[in-house]
Amino acid sequence: MSTTQHRVLGGKIVQPSSRRQSTSVFGNLDWFTVLIYSVLVALGWMNIYAVVYSPDNVVNIFSFDINSGRQLTFIAAGVILIIILLVVDYKVYEHLAYPIYGGIILLLLFTLAVANPVAGSRSWLDLGAGFRLQPAELSKFATALAISKYLSQVSLRQQKMKDQMILAAITFLPAVIIILQNETGSALVFGAFILAFFREGMSPLILIIGGSAAAIFILTLLVPKLYLLIGIAALMGLAMFLDYRLMRRFKTMIALFVLVVGMVFSVDYFVNDILQPHQQNRIKALINPEADPLGYGWNVTQSKIAIGSGGFWGKGFLEGTQTKFDFVPEQSTDFIFCTIGEEHGWVGSTILIALFLLLMMRIVYIAERQKSVFGRTYGYCVVSVIFFHFVINVGMTIGLAPVVGIPLPFFSYGGSSLWSFTILLFILLAIDANRNRELVR
Amino acid sequence: MNYLENRKYVIQAIFLVVGVVYALRLFYIQVVDSSYKQAAETNAIKTVIQYPFRGLIYDRNGELLVQNTPVYDLMIVPKEARNIDTLRLAGMLDITLEDARERFKKARAYSWVKPSIFQQMLSTQDFAHIQDNLIDFPGFYINARTARGYPHQSLGHALGYIAEISPKQLEDSTYAGYRPGDYIGKAGIEMAYEKYLMGKRGVKYKMVNVRGIDKGSFKDGAYDTLSIAGQNMVSTIDLDLQAYGEHLMNGAKGSIVAIEPKTGEILAYISAPFYDPNLFTGKDYGKNYMQLLQDPDKTMFNRPIMADRNPPGSIFKLTQALIALEDGVIDPNTRYACNKSLVNCHPHPSPLDLRGAVQHSCNPWFFQAYKALINQGKSKNTFTDTSIGLRDWREHVLTFGFGKKLGIDIPGEKSGIIASTDLYDRVYGKDRWKYSTIYSLSIGQGELGVTPLQMANFMAIVANKGYYVTPHLIRSIGEDGKPLAENYERHYTSVKPHHFDPIIEGMAEVVRAGTGRKASLGKVGITVCGKTGTAQNPQGPDHAVFVAFAPMEDPKIAIAVYVEHGKWGGQSAAPIAGLMIEQYLTDTVTIKEQEKWVLSREYLNIRSK
């Protein structure tokens, strides 16, 4: 592969950078990110083994009869996937962003039409020979590509209503289909792109309003309404007292407060009358899992017990009793963090959190060094998705987030999830490895 | 552009805040709050009590009295129990449909996934029946364990029984170490020797999964302890004699206690009506227990040690004579006329010496002898003199084991009553009573209460000529088979040995030619010494008493037979004693006509005078 070919292929004038040290995509690859990725995948694999490990029936970690053996094949397939992603011309991702997005949307619709429900979810596509694929996982990177492509052409700062509507449509079309597939949890991920939009110029008000709305929602469930409203009124009064500009917008503030009152009262109605019973239970479980520890509170209670029993240093690799003996449900997929918490204690848990923080910080760093808006936006889309998964997945195991069935990136058992995150991340690394071939626009 | 780039700090700050909040939250639940560790232990580590094999009990000839038999608990896992034909299940277990539904509810309330007991203690027969049908009842499992079994259906009152420890006992520090659901001796030998029989519990820490399925030992069993089986015991009971006695008393009410005089070993211990101790081991334990408890014949009343309200009747004349001899107020040749104006009597030759008085049980004779004993003239005042006499007499009586607990090795023993100066002072006032008030004591009536055990023990004293060994039911504990020293201590009476001779000779006459002829074993060359008695019963027909020991020359067995409403000792109690003695000494019964007479129960129909 030569630069000449790129020039022709890309159809743009590419000026070789003087800082470029290698012509090979592997030479320019961000190996630091690859290292964190590898560590997470390897740790995930070991913990998947720890989940199925049983002292009275020891099965080899490589055995295909158990999840760890199968995960190893997923990892091997992932490596092949990585090589393909890296050797393919990086321009493809930008140029084919819309076709890829369109294809995935069609695949989602196709899945919705033909899928046999698995535990109420119609998101799995049967590939035959025992293999199944969840196209919803693939829609994340496709949507990220489409968003980045669109944002590289328009600017959010121009605040054109039409552009914003189109962007919202790109973002939420796959989410709607996924909700129809009855995978509400996966659909929520698309809300995470708000971080990328924020970086690209979206008004911070939306972030603040969104955050405040979420806070009010949860507080309504936790605190008696009267106290909550008095508290909010006091806060608003304090803000007005401190900032004279707000004082002049007195009517707006009053309107805002009325809005809050309306929201507080509609949350009750929403939770008790609109949500489906299993969704209600997830919210109740978050607020007070002890109310029904054997029913809706089971997952959260058991997962907290597993993690809490780990102590400072943990019980040691393969020594956990809670995750191993099925007290925690979905232990190798959604609740894999419990295994870390139990067997490796606070130290292990914190190291894992640090690893994710490091990865996310590194991705932000990578995104910021892109010369193209496409590359940068894509980087932020990647980190948004990973962040959302991390927040919800770890949060639900320690009772800080509702139980939403989404996996821990790179860590949880499952091919679809592993490959989807691998694709998401390594498209960014491919773009990043070739960043110096881009002109600053 | 620049100000937008700064937004990366906002985003990074959000990441950091979340990371720190999560790490702090983890620190709280993992390091600060220890409740999760306990919860995890109760979750996954099951403490399995290794119940030791409870000690077995053998009779004096090595015959097994108490064993451990397998019983089966029917367990249910509600989650797996789907589409259950409740009606059929109820039919199989012989319970009502409502009862079955109630048990389902209880099991579900306990746990959806963990097994709980649906029906406990199914017998091997029930189990065999249910096992074949179990396939139609998913979620039901059988859990085998052991319960007590009594192969001979005998000796219930002495053996006692075991049952679940009561909530009250659990609070008692004496029972520290017991847990709810544990079985504990509740009466008899099972209770008295609980600490030997129970053995030592072992604890096994097992890891279980969410469904309670065993997943191996915890830390390779580093904290496990082995259970140590309870100690086997050898009882003093002779099972053949016991069974024969129960056979004789079947349908009657009363007691038989037989003791080996030299050792105090109880050979037979019968409380009639008796019950099959196996009633207390099966699934109907509660029902059976309540039934027996409410039964009008008072089956659960442990008569040999608890029936202490009955006067001993004429057998007490022997005690009176012995004390009178010891005090020197009579000698073997002292004669008294049968003066019926003093107290009623029946026709017999008169006047009689001591032997004759014993043989004919002459009431006036003992009236006069007892008067000589009580009123020895130690005070000029008749009232004071009587009081002194009674006090001294009572001291003698107590050395015979009357009026106090003998200390038999099972719980529940009563002490009986022996008239005292305090008692009469309370009833009549101090110095307001004299011999004419208390003369019925002379013939064993009045303010006297003696348990059948005390009567048998009294016979052992006579046989031993002056001492007794505390009657007991357990000879040895454990493998070495050495008798328990504390059970073989001799207690001497205040009467010297030679005073017993004329009494024993009189008793031999009672059986040979007196009121106790139905106990005679002259045919097989065994001299039985005995004494009949009749305990007056204001509520109905009198109770019959017969005490005896044999052979006269070298006593091997002392026995007391008490038949409620048996009217005369000679008619009902004496033949039973004779049969028991022959059975014990010769292992056969030749006096078949007596056996037939006893089993006919015709003595219950003899009309009173």
φ/ψ bin of B505: left (φ > 0), alpha (ψ from -120 to 50), beta (otherwise): alpha
Highest mean pLDDT among A165-169, B529-533, B599-603: B529-533
CB within 8 Å: A327 and B7: no
Which band of pLDDT confidence, cut at 50, 70 and 90, is reported for residue B368? very high
- Span of A66-70, A318-322, B158-162 with lowest mean pLDDT: A318-322
**Model pLDDT, residue A10:** 42
The whole-angstrom distance between A285's CA and the closest CA on chain B is 17
**Contact residues, A window 183-212, toward B, CB-based 8 Å cutoff:** 195, 198-201, 204
Given 3.30.70.260, 3.10.620.30, 3.90.1310.10, 3.40.50.720, which CATH number is that of B47-235? 3.90.1310.10
CB within 8 Å: A325 and B207: yes
**Model pLDDT, residue A9:** 41
Delimit the domains of chain B by residue range: 47-235, 239-274+303-473+490-604
Q: How many CB atoms lie within 10 A of CB B59?
A: 23
CB within 8 Å: B37 and A387: no
A351 in contact with B, Cβ within 8 Å = no
Please give the radius of gyration of chain B, using alpha carbons only, rounded to the nearest integer.
Answer: 33
Residues of chain A in contact with residue B31, where contact means CB-CB under 8 angstroms, are 311-312, 346
The whole-angstrom distance between B82's CA and the closest CA on chain A is 19
Which residue from A minimizes the CA distance to B206? A321
Delimit the domains of chain A by residue range: 3-202+297-437, 210-274
The whole-angstrom distance between B120's CA and the closest CA on chain A is 26
**Model pLDDT, residue B502:** 94
Residues of chain A in contact with residue B27, where contact means CB-CB under 8 angstroms, are 346
CB within 8 Å: A356 and B31: no
**Model pLDDT, residue A134:** 86
Which band of pLDDT confidence, cut at 50, 70 and 90, is reported for residue B95? confident
Identical fold for domains B47-235 and B239-274+303-473+490-604, yes or no, is: no
Length of chain A: 441
Any idea which fold B239-274+303-473+490-604 has?
Beta-lactamase (3.40.710)
A411 in contact with B, Cβ within 8 Å = no
Give the span between the Cα atoms of A260 and A336, in whole angstroms.
38
Q: How far is CA A48 from CA A78, A299, A419, B170, in A?
A: 17, 18, 16, 45
Is pLDDT larger for residue B480 or for residue B140?
B140
DSSP-assigned states of every residue in B333-386: T--B---TTTS------SSB-HHHHHHHT-HHHHHHHHHHHH--SSSSSHHHHH
Residue B547 near residue B458, CB atoms below 8 Å: yes
Cα torsion B307, B310, B316, B317 to 10°: value is: -160
Is pLDDT larger for residue B589 or for residue A16?
B589
**Model pLDDT, residue B322:** 96
- Span of A214-228, A366-380, B529-543, B545-559 with lowest mean pLDDT: A214-228
Give the span between the Cα atoms of A52 and B6, in whole angstroms.
46
Give the residue-averaged pLDDT of B209-216: 65
Which residue from B minimizes the CA distance to A295? B112
Which of B2, B17, B26, B215 has the most A C-beta neighbours within 10 Å, making it the best mutation to test the interface with A? Answer: B26
Residue A366 has pLDDT above 90, yes or no: yes
CB within 8 Å: B39 and A400: no
Residues of chain A in contact with residue B12, where contact means CB-CB under 8 angstroms, are 361, 364
Provide the pairing of β-strand B557-563 with B233-235.
unpaired
Highest mean pLDDT among B113-122, B456-465, B559-568: B456-465
**Could you give the maximum distance between any two Cα atoms of chain B, in Å?**
143
Residue B505 near residue B355, CB atoms below 8 Å: yes
The whole-angstrom distance between B107's CA and the closest CA on chain A is 15
Query: Residue A112's closest CA among A128, A83, A136?
Result: A136
Residues of chain A in contact with residue B78, where contact means CB-CB under 8 angstroms, are none
Which of B5, B10, B11, B111 has the most A C-beta neighbours within 10 Å, making it the best mutation to test the interface with A? Answer: B11
Give the residue-averaged pLDDT of A344-349: 94
Give the span between the Cα atoms of B579 and B561, in whole angstroms.
11
Which band of pLDDT confidence, cut at 50, 70 and 90, is reported for residue A11? very low
CB within 8 Å: B8 and A364: yes
Give the span between the Cα atoms of A309 and B31, in whole angstroms.
9
Which band of pLDDT confidence, cut at 50, 70 and 90, is reported for residue B219? low
Give the residue-averaged pLDDT of A326-343: 83
**Model pLDDT, residue A8:** 39
Closest to A322 (Cβ–Cβ): which among B7, B18, B40?
A: B40
Helix ranges (H only) for A154-297 are 161-180, 184-188, 194-199, 204-222, 225-242, 244-248, 250-269, 277-287
A312 in contact with B, Cβ within 8 Å = yes
Residue B194 has pLDDT above 80, yes or no: yes
Q: What is the percent of chain A with per-residue pLDDT over 90, rounded to a whole number?
A: 34
**Model pLDDT, residue B111:** 76
Q: What is the percent of chain B with per-residue pLDDT over 90, rounded to a whole number?
A: 48
**Model pLDDT, residue B198:** 87
**Model pLDDT, residue A23:** 64
Which band of pLDDT confidence, cut at 50, 70 and 90, is reported for residue A13? very low
CB within 8 Å: B15 and A305: no
Residue A5 has pLDDT above 60, yes or no: no
**Model pLDDT, residue B37:** 78
The whole-angstrom distance between B75's CA and the closest CA on chain A is 21
Residues of chain B in contact with residue A350, where contact means CB-CB under 8 angstroms, are 23, 26
Residue B1 has pLDDT above 60, yes or no: no
Which of A309, A319, A327 has the most B C-beta neighbours within 10 Å, making it the best mutation to test the interface with B? Answer: A309
**Model pLDDT, residue A129:** 67
Which residue from A minimizes the CA distance to B28? A308
Is pLDDT larger for residue A11 or for residue B421?
B421
**Tokens matching residue A115:** 């899928």
CB within 8 Å: A321 and B44: yes
Q: Enumerate chain B positions whose Cβ falls within 8 A of a Cβ in A.
A: 4-5, 7-8, 10-12, 14-16, 18-19, 21-23, 25-27, 29-31, 33, 35-37, 39-41, 43-45, 112, 207-211, 215-216
The complex scores an ipTM of 0.86
Closest to A398 (Cβ–Cβ): which among B22, B112, B209?
A: B22
A364 in contact with B, Cβ within 8 Å = yes
Highest mean pLDDT among A210-224, A416-430, B118-132, B341-355: A416-430
Residues of chain B in contact with residue A342, where contact means CB-CB under 8 angstroms, are 40
Q: How far is CA B264 from CA B72, B190, B458, B510, B552, in A?
A: 40, 20, 11, 25, 17
Which of B24, B29, B34 has the most A C-beta neighbours within 10 Å, making it the best mutation to test the interface with A? Answer: B29
CB within 8 Å: A312 and B31: yes
- Span of A264-278, B282-296, B511-525 with lowest mean pLDDT: A264-278
The DSSP bridge partners found for residue B142 are B74
Mutual angle of helices B316-327 and B382-398, in 10-degree steps: 110
Residue A4 has pLDDT above 50, yes or no: no
Residue A441 has pLDDT above 50, yes or no: no
φ/ψ bin of A113: left (φ > 0), alpha (ψ from -120 to 50), beta (otherwise): alpha
Give the span between the Cα atoms of B500 and B497, in whole angstroms.
6
Which residue from A minimizes the CA distance to B207? A321
**Model pLDDT, residue A7:** 42
Question: Which DSSP category does B404 fall into?
Answer: S
CB within 8 Å: B15 and A294: no
Which band of pLDDT confidence, cut at 50, 70 and 90, is reported for residue A347? very high
Average pLDDT, chain B: 88
Highest mean pLDDT among A231-240, B18-27, B119-128, B199-208: B18-27
Which residue from A minimizes the CA distance to B37? A309
**Model pLDDT, residue B107:** 84
**Model pLDDT, residue B571:** 86
**Model pLDDT, residue A295:** 62
Which band of pLDDT confidence, cut at 50, 70 and 90, is reported for residue A80? very high
Which of B15, B47, B207, B220 has the most A C-beta neighbours within 10 Å, making it the best mutation to test the interface with A? Answer: B15
CB within 8 Å: A305 and B25: no
- Contacts of A221-229 spanning 24+ positions with Cβ under 8 A: A221/A267, A221/A271, A221/A283, A221/A287, A222/A287, A225/A264, A225/A265, A228/A264, A229/A260, A229/A261, A229/A264
Which residue from A minimizes the CA distance to B8? A199
Give the residue-averaged pLDDT of B77-88: 83
Is pLDDT larger for residue B609 or for residue B451?
B451
Highest mean pLDDT among A234-243, A353-362, B64-73, B163-172: A353-362
**Model pLDDT, residue A268:** 75
A394 in contact with B, Cβ within 8 Å = yes
**Model pLDDT, residue A12:** 46
**Model pLDDT, residue A2:** 40
Give the residue-averaged pLDDT of B392-397: 95
Query: Residue B72's closest CA among B39, B35, B118, B103?
Result: B118
Question: Which DSSP category does B251 fall into?
Answer: T
Residues of chain A in contact with residue B1, where contact means CB-CB under 8 angstroms, are none
**Tokens matching residue B108:** 């579900």
**Contact residues, A window 28-67, toward B, CB-based 8 Å cutoff:** 54-56
pLDDT in tens, B254-281: 999 999 999 999 999 999 899 988 888 8
**Could you give the maximum distance between any two Cα atoms of chain A, in Å?**
73
Residues of chain A in contact with residue B22, where contact means CB-CB under 8 angstroms, are 353, 394-395, 398, 400
CA angle, corner A416, sides to A412 and A421, nearest 5?
70
pLDDT in tens, B504-560: 999 999 999 888 999 999 889 999 999 999 888 877 888 899 999 999 999 999 999
Residues of chain B in contact with residue A346, where contact means CB-CB under 8 angstroms, are 26-27, 30-31
Query: Residue B163's closest CA among B144, B153, B178?
Result: B178
- Give pTM, 2 decimals: 0.61
Give the residue-averaged pLDDT of A252-267: 85
**Model pLDDT, residue A386:** 96
Is pLDDT larger for residue B190 or for residue A58?
B190
Residue A19 has pLDDT above 70, yes or no: no
CB within 8 Å: B37 and A308: yes
Which band of pLDDT confidence, cut at 50, 70 and 90, is reported for residue A244? confident
A and B: number of Cβ contacts within 8 A: 125
